[in-house]
Amino acid sequence: MPVSKRAETSLLTDQVYDMIHESIMNGDLPAGARLRVRDLAEQVGTSVMPVREAIRRLEEAGLAERSPHKGAVVKGLTLAELVHVYDVRRLLEVEAARLGAQRISAEDSARMQDEFALMRTALDERRVVAYLDHDEALLTILYEAAENPVLVDTIRTLWQRCRAYKIVGAEGTVDTTEDDSLWMYQQRLVEAAREHDDAAAAAVNNDSLLDATARIKAQLAQQDVS
């Protein structure tokens, strides 16, 4: 294949990957949704080859999997994966919060507060995906203050892998008016960062992730996910 043709195929693969990835991240393609190669190729207006390559990359990223009699599907939800992913998140994000709180600047603390305000607005308006985006933006500001890009990149990869779980947890809690778990921990985290209280920041993240695991477990149990 000529170099120009390979480059064109690679570009198309990137475009297809980005399209499917965005649909998974915003919940338009939920867990278990079929990724039909010909349908996706028709939507994008390309041949099937870039679509197959994009799906392969999604499988490598842990966002898609092969299902008997269905072919490629968006990665399903399981209690075992939930526990495994959130256990690893706790290991990494507790430390990221501790280091970030030690080093964060006043300007970045203010940016965290701004993201918290946007997150609360999205929550009040029941915009779950926007809520999650602002939550992750808030955490990213703190974690980047730790000055360890490998740590931040690894955490972001885990966020992508568990986005479907996050959506389930948030959607199952957003209409429970007496439950403040979707914003309470972030408020405490912003306060801990502002005070450079690294122990408090680490403890808040630990409690937040334990709470999230329990809430999502309960939601998956209602859906009869094993």
Local confidence band at 2 (pLDDT 50, 70, 90 cut-offs)? very low
C-alpha dihedral over 173, 177, 180, 183, to 10 degrees? 70
Whether the per-residue pLDDT at 28 is higher than 70: the answer is yes
Each as own residue / partner, the long-range contacts of residues 187-193 (CB below 8 Å, 24 or more positions apart, any chain) are 187/116, 189/97, 189/112, 189/138, 189/139, 189/142, 190/109, 190/112, 190/113, 190/116, 190/138, 192/97, 192/101, 193/100, 193/101, 193/104, 193/108, 193/109, 193/112, 193/142, 193/145
Whether the per-residue pLDDT at 4 is higher than 70: the answer is no
Range(s) of the chain covered by CATH 1.20.120.530:
79-222
Least-confidence region, from 8-17, 30-39, 82-91? 8-17
Least-confidence region, from 9-18, 90-99, 193-202? 9-18
* pLDDT number for residue 177: 62
> What would the CATH number be for the domain defined by 3-74?
1.10.10.10
More confident residue, 216 or 70: 216
Local confidence band at 5 (pLDDT 50, 70, 90 cut-offs)? very low
Range(s) of the chain covered by CATH 1.10.10.10:
3-74
* pLDDT number for residue 223: 83
Per-residue pLDDT tens for 198-224?
A: 999 999 999 999 999 999 999 998 887
Nearest to 193 by CA among 92, 112, 93: 112
Cα distance between residue 147 and residue 100, in whole Å: 8
Report for 38-42, 92-96, 173-177: range of highest mean pLDDT: 92-96
Share of the chain above pLDDT 70, in %: 96
Whether the per-residue pLDDT at 3 is higher than 80: the answer is no
* pLDDT number for residue 7: 42
State the average pLDDT over residues 175-182: 80
Q: Are 113 and 186 in contact (CB under 8 A)?
A: no
**8-state DSSP, 67:** E
Domain 79-222 has CATH 1.20.120.530: yes
